[in-house]
Amino acid sequence: MSTPSSPPKKSWSWRSQAFRGLLYQVIAIVVVLATVLYLAHNTTTNMKLRGIQSGFDFLMGPAGFDIGESFFAFDSGESYWRAYLVGFVNTLRVAVVGIILTTILGTLIGVGRFSRNALIRGLCTVYVEFFRNIPVLLQLLMWYLMFTEVLPASNEPLVFGPFFLSKGGLNFPIPEWASGHVWGAWGLLAGIVGAVLYRSYATKSFEQTGRVKSMFWAPLAIVLGGGILGWLLGGAPTALNVPVQGEFAIENGGALTPEYLSVLLGLTIYTAAFVSEVVRGGIQSVALGQSEAAAALGLSRGQTMRLVMLPQALRVIIPPVTNQYLNLTKNSSLAVAIGYPDVVSIANTAINQTGRAVECIAIIMLVYLSTSLFTSITMNWYNTRSAIKER
């Protein structure tokens, strides 16, 4: 212990804080570098001894395995990097759709816990407590079991109109490709541009005259109208590729595999429980006086929620919800347990076939790190947009 009575010396000393700080840092750098070098040295010697080749050149070689489902055509003769690409796209397919569904479900349940109806409140509470206290892996396995054991076989599926649900997954009608759809897409785009213009006009007119113009239904109508107009101009193609009951399986139409559905369902339901807690916390964090003031101004309950509560709650909600999005993306790696060919599952097969554990694990980490980084950047941008504008 230093003597409290002596004042700090101005001159340089071995015991000065600056020197000790420098010393600690040099020690830390040396220790970290030495560990890294030691591990790298061990790895290279081990690889030489076991005759393991290293390097990423294997990515160019043929993969030699088939992938159960892929967004674009893939066969076993194609290269490893194509296989990884298929896996990455499969991961993204789960993550992006999962994030959208989770946001919707989580918000509904979070708001539902403030419902005036005790049944809705109770159900939402039971949902949250039940689904967040059971490991997500177990939930994925259970959903997968539901799809593969409980549902009827694909030669006698459950039929809901043009939708077929069976052990083979979900089959649904998709529109037959026609050039009119391109027209529809352009119309939709034009509608979006029109809606943005309309909103800026409506805001300006509200600020000048004080008259409220529709800010939701009218823009929605413009967007949909644009889409439908484009579709009509393109010749209004209505042909649908409807799935039909084949002899052994369901043919035609679009299909989602049971693996994809169970991963998507499991992750969405699990993460929505957490998101709903975040939403609930955010709404609770808005001062009670705000909703009372809104009521005093004559706003309806829906308007209060939309115009007063949610914009303020969003500031509290966004950072933790970002974390949940990242968790969902990372948890999609559990798909390997039920055989959905995501990037981890591809890497696992690649490790077993080539023995290049270091490279394959590095690829997994790189994929998730970059996805996480991208999500954080996007959400941070949105967060700064919705943050309090301070002078």
CA distance 139 to 123: 19
> At a CB cut-off of 8 Å and minimum separation 6, what does 300 contact?
none
115 binds another protein (CB under 8 A): yes
Q: What is the DSSP letter of 79?
A: B
**By CB under 8 A, is residue 108 in contact with another protein?**
no
State how far the alpha carbon of 247 is from the alpha carbons of 153, 174, 241, in Å: 12, 21, 18
| 125 forms part of the interface with another protein (CB under 8 A) | no
**Spatial separation of the C-alpha atoms in residues 299 and 313, rounded to whole Å:** 18
Q: Which of 190, 215, 310, 361 binds another protein (CB under 8 A)?
A: 361
C-beta closer to another protein: residue 171 or 277: 277
Among 108, 307, 373, 387, binds another protein (CB under 8 A): 373
- Establish if 372 lies at the interface with another protein (CB under 8 A): yes
Q: Does residue number 350 form part of the binding site for another protein (CB under 8 A)? A: no
How far is 46 from 327, CA to CA, in rounded Å?
A: 35
DSSP code for 151: S
Q: How far apart are CA 67 and CA 342, in angstroms?
A: 10
For 176, the token pair is 């037959």
* Residue 332 falls in which region: left (phi positive, over 0), alpha (psi -120 to 50) or beta: alpha
Which residue number, 126 or 196, has a Cβ lying nearer to another protein? 126
29 binds another protein (CB under 8 A): yes
Closest contact distance (angstroms) between CB of 321 and another protein is 16
Is residue 228 near another protein by the rule CB under 8 A? no
For another protein, the binding residue among 76, 330, 377, 385 (CB under 8 A) is 330
Query: Shortest approach of another protein to residue 310 CB, angstroms?
Result: 20
- For residue 261, the one-letter residue type is L
**Should residue 208 be labelled a site residue for another protein when binding is judged by CB under 8 A?**
no
Hey, is 8 helix, strand or coil? coil
Binding-site member from 37, 39, 232, 236 for another protein (CB under 8 A): 39
For residue 258, count other CB atoms closer than 10 A to its CB: 22
Q: Which stretch binds another protein (CB under 8 A): 39-47, 164-172, 239-247, 285-293?
A: 39-47
Cβ proximity to another protein, 130 vs 206, nearer residue: 130
> Which two structure tokens, joined as six digits, stand for 41?
């040295």
The SS3 call for residue 389 is coil
Q: Which of 96, 142, 153, 307 binds another protein (CB under 8 A)?
A: 142
Handedness of CA 156, 158, 164, 169 (dihedral sign): negative
Q: Which of 89, 97, 120, 218 is in the footprint of another protein by CB under 8 A? A: 120
| Nearer Cβ to another protein (15/211) | 15
Residue 247 touching another protein (CB under 8 A): no
Alpha-carbon span 211 to 349, nearest angstrom: 63
Establish if 96 lies at the interface with another protein (CB under 8 A). Answer: no
What is the token pair recorded at 13?
Answer: 């000393």
To the nearest 10°, report the CA torsion of 310, 313, 319, 325: -40
Select the residue interacting with another protein from 7, 60, 72, 133 (CB under 8 A).
133
Q: Name which of 239, 231, 240 is nearest 189 in CA terms.
A: 231
Q: Does 299 bind another protein (CB under 8 A)?
A: no
User: How many residues interact with another protein (rule CB under 8 A)?
Assistant: 58
Please pick, from the candidates 96, 126, 193, 365, the single residue that binds another protein as defined by CB under 8 A. 365
Q: Is 61 in the site for another protein (CB under 8 A)?
A: no
What does R_g of the chain's alpha carbons equal in angstroms? 28
Q: Which of residues 2-21 bind another protein (CB under 8 A)?
A: 2, 4, 21
CA atoms within 13 A of residue 28's CA, in its CB half-sphere: 6
**Closer by beta carbon to another protein, 171 or else 333:** 333
- At its nearest, how many Å lie between another protein and the CB of residue 292? 19
Report in angstroms the alpha-carbon separations of 284 from 116, 291, 309.
Answer: 15, 11, 9
Among 13, 42, 53, 238, binds another protein (CB under 8 A): 42
Nearest residue to 329 via CA among 281, 282, 379, 255: 379
Binding site for another protein (CB under 8 A): 1-2, 4, 21, 24-26, 28-29, 32, 39, 42-43, 45-47, 49, 115-120, 123, 129-130, 132-138, 141-142, 145-146, 149-150, 330-331, 333-334, 336-337, 344, 347-348, 351, 357-358, 361, 364-365, 368-369, 372-373
